[in-house]
């Protein structure tokens, strides 16, 4: 890496006052450093370089600003740089200030950096606190996310993963689940947002996190929110159900057209199933889902699904839907205390299941790769 003298000289080029050509070469060099782990770790110990990058996001040269944001995206992808970025610079304040500008052309890069920084709880708290300190709040983020075309120069799809990350915090979930704000109702339609799997996945992740708060399950499943169709419709296909099965379903899930397509991202399908599984944790949740006739949709989905991890998640949900009710005192599955030895055994079995699924997947891919050319696969 750079000697102390070289680092000092390079830093002197990274100022707003420096000539554009010299500054451009310097930011290009820093961007190159952020392209590998060693470079990122070197910059972790150089907070002055981090501050300079943040300052230069205000540079009049679009090319220099672009390089700075690209470098900050690379740095924020490394968890070990999260605390230096938020503690040693005024990065968060600048990002949120620019995010609010509907004309700001680098807003998508801002969303990506915020999404990266909020992945882990410690820095996620810093991001959430900065929202409050900047007098912005989560309500403004949701408003921007739900306003189509808020920024004509940016899609803002990565606000979805940001919301998902923020809802790992109880205070963020409390806001989303506030019955007087109607926030969660605004997010529900995005489970079927065709233009972006990033936005869809972010919303589904947000809903999944919110469903860990089982005290809200009955409200979420009630007509006030009606979360169920938004979770099940992406998993439903064109298969023809019997009249009796259709009649038992919510209206939005009845008699689906022949060209009905399922969610094409297996990770999102798995999250949808995990969210439904969380809603079965309470007795009232299980009863509502059984009364709404969820099982036939899951039965047909299981026949269609090919991804082993998604199949496993589906099978766990089906077991609950068609199984007997737990014995008295164990109705709330989130409050059941599992003996330590049983918990360890379950973890061991889950690990083995994951390993077997990976092995089966690799075998399947190997067989496909070995298929002779010219034959249909």
Per-residue pLDDT of the chain in tens (377 residues, 90 and over written 9): 789 999 999 999 999 999 999 999 999 999 999 999 999 999 999 999 999 999 999 999 999 999 999 999 999 999 999 999 999 999 999 999 999 999 999 999 999 999 999 999 999 999 999 999 988 999 999 999 999 999 999 999 999 999 999 999 999 999 999 999 999 999 999 999 999 999 999 999 999 999 999 999 999 999 999 999 999 999 999 999 999 999 889 999 999 999 999 999 999 999 999 999 999 999 999 999 999 999 999 999 999 999 999 999 999 999 999 987 665 555 555 554 545 564 465 456 556 655 665 666 566 555 545 544 443 32
Could you tell me the CA-to-CA distances from 181 to 133, 175, 200, 214, 332 in Å, in that order? 21, 8, 21, 19, 27
Asked if residue 290 lies in contact with residue 282, where contact means CB atoms within 8 angstroms, the answer is: no
Residue with tokens 């030895």: 341
Nearest to residue 144, comparing CAs of 116, 108, 169, 180? 108
Could you tell me the CA-to-CA distances from 127 to 79, 156, 251 in Å, in that order? 14, 17, 40
Nearest to residue 231, comparing CAs of 282, 273, 198? 273
Angle between helices 308-322 and 294-304 (to 10 degrees): 150
Residue with tokens 């943040």: 54
Nearest to residue 213, comparing CAs of 163, 172, 183, 180? 172
Q: Model pTM?
A: 0.86
Q: CA-CA distance, 290 to 285, in Å (whole number)?
A: 9
Nearest to residue 131, comparing CAs of 165, 102, 154? 165
Burial class (CB in 10 A: 0-12, 13-18, 19+), 2: middle
Rounded to the nearest 10°, the torsion over CA 165, 167, 168, 171 is 140
Q: From the DSSP assignment, how many helices (H) and strands (E) are in the chain?
A: 22, 0
C-alpha Rg value of the chain to the nearest Å: 24
Question: DSSP character for 271?
Answer: H
Asked if residue 168 lies in contact with residue 120, where contact means CB atoms within 8 angstroms, the answer is: no
The residues near 58 (Cβ < 8 Å, ≥ 6 apart) are: 16, 65, 94
Q: CA-CA distance, 292 to 250, in Å (whole number)?
A: 6
Residue with tokens 């509502």: 288
């Amino acid at each position: 890496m750079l000697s102390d003298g070289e680092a000092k000289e390079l830093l002197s080029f990274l100022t707003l006052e420096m000539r554009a050509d010299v500054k451009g070469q310097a930011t290009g060099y820093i961007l190159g450093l952020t392209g590998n782990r060693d470079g990122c770790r070197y910059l972790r110990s150089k907070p002055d370089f981090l501050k300079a990058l943040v300052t230069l996001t205000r540079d009049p040269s679009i090319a220099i600003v672009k390089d700075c944001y690209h470098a900050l995206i690379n740095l924020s992808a490394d968890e070990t740089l999260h605390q230096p970025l938020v503690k040693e610079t005024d990065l968060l304040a600048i990002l949120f200030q620019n995010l609010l500008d509907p004309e700001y052309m680098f807003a998508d890069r801002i969303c990506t950096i915020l999404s990266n920084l909020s992945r882990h709880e410690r820095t996620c708290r810093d991001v959430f606190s900065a929202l409050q300190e900047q007098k912005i709040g989560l309500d403004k983020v949701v408003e921007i996310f739900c306003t189509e075309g808020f920024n004509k120069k940016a899609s803002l799809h990565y606000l979805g993963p940001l919301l998902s990350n923020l809802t790992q915090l109880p205070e963020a979930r409390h806001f989303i689940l506030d019955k007087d704000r109607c926030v969660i109702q605004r997010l529900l339609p995005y489970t079927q947002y065709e233009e972006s799997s990033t936005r869809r996945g972010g919303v589904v992740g947000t809903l999944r996190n919110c469903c860990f708060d089982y005290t809200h399950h009955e409200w979420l499943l009630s007509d006030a929110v009606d979360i169920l169709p938004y979770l099940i419709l992406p998993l439903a296909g064109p298969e023809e159900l019997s009249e009796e099965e259709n009649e038992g379903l919510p209206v939005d899930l009845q008699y689906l057209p022949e060209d009905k397509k399922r969610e094409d991202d297996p990770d999102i399908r798995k999250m949808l199933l995990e969210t439904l599984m969380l809603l079965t944790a309470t007795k009232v949740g299980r009863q509502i889902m059984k009364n709404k006739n969820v099982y036939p949709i899951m039965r047909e989905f299981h026949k269609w699904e090919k991804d082993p991890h998604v199949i496993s998640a589906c099978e766990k949900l089906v077991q609950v839907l068609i199984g007997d009710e737990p014995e008295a005192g164990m109705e709330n599955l989130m409050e059941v205390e599992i003996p330590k030895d049983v918990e360890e055994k379950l973890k061991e079995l889950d690990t083995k299941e994951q390993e077997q699924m990976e092995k089966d997947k690799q075998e399947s891919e190997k067989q496909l790769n070995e298929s002779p050319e010219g034959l249909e696969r």
